[in-house]
A and B are shown apart, each in its own frame.
Chain A
């Protein structure tokens, strides 16, 4: 199975700081890259997603940066808040190939401290 590698495994950020989570993929057929947020005991919730035809997408405090040549993408959370404390997963799928299953990274546990 094609992998998506995510780092760091855990992250501690001061309130108001920038949280940065990185992912790298191998399969160049991936064409859809979402980020999910998961709170304990809950299901993952879609935060923001990007396709490889753009290098950056911003929604509120959340920004995805995408580097197609390096096969890397990252999530930036600006002005991080304690309420952002959760586990974040990057994912990828090959929608153009008719495969809509998501391949997930192993997750990053973010703790935002006051």
Chain B
């Protein structure tokens, strides 16, 4: 029973490079959420996607950040022209349905370091 799979686990990028973070939801889950966690902080919502659709991106920075969840393949969080302030742990969560059963299962995260 594979859980939410995120890769890479650790990613180092120089300022100005692009970071691509991947998330494969649990089998049968079609709802994906991305969160960012700064050191000693709680998780902050970024974006909620269903297959091929962005449902809520109210937590996404307006520039440099984008997310997709294609019909086939993992969800991708893309950060262009990274800056030091982008250094954080990025977590993906997935759920089977919305409504009553809203349990979201989290992956182990990708720790992005911008040098």
Closest to B98 in A: A100
List B residues at the A interface (Cβ < 8 Å): 4, 6, 31, 33, 35, 40-45, 48, 56, 58-59, 91, 93, 95, 98-100, 102-109
B18 to chain A minimum Cβ distance, whole angstroms, is: 24
- Write 12 A-B pairs (CB below 8 A) sorted by A numbering: A36-B106, A43-B93, A43-B107, A43-B108, A44-B91, A44-B106, A100-B95, A101-B56, A101-B58, A102-B35, A102-B104, A104-B35
Cα separation A102 to B91 with both chains bound (whole Å): 12
Cα separation A9 to B108 with both chains bound (whole Å): 23
Contact indicator A89/B42 (Cβ below 8 Å): yes
Contact indicator B43/A44 (Cβ below 8 Å): yes
Contact indicator A100/B43 (Cβ below 8 Å): no
B111 to chain A minimum Cβ distance, whole angstroms, is: 8
Q: Tell me whether A106 is interfacial, beta carbon within 8 Å.
A: yes
Contact indicator A95/B106 (Cβ below 8 Å): no
Closest to B111 in A: A41
Q: Which residues of A contact B99 (CB under 8 A)?
A: 95
Within 68-94 of A, Cβ neighbours of B (below 8 Å) are at: 89, 93
Contact indicator A106/B42 (Cβ below 8 Å): yes
Contact indicator B41/A107 (Cβ below 8 Å): yes
Cα separation A107 to B6 with both chains bound (whole Å): 23
Q: Which residues of B contact A42 (CB under 8 A)?
A: 108-109
Contact indicator B95/A106 (Cβ below 8 Å): no
Q: Tell me whether A24 is interfacial, beta carbon within 8 Å.
A: no
Q: Which residues of B contact A36 (CB under 8 A)?
A: 106
Query: Which of B42, B100, B105, B107 makes the CB contact (< 8 A) with A107?
Result: B42
Contact indicator B31/A100 (Cβ below 8 Å): yes
Contact indicator B105/A46 (Cβ below 8 Å): yes
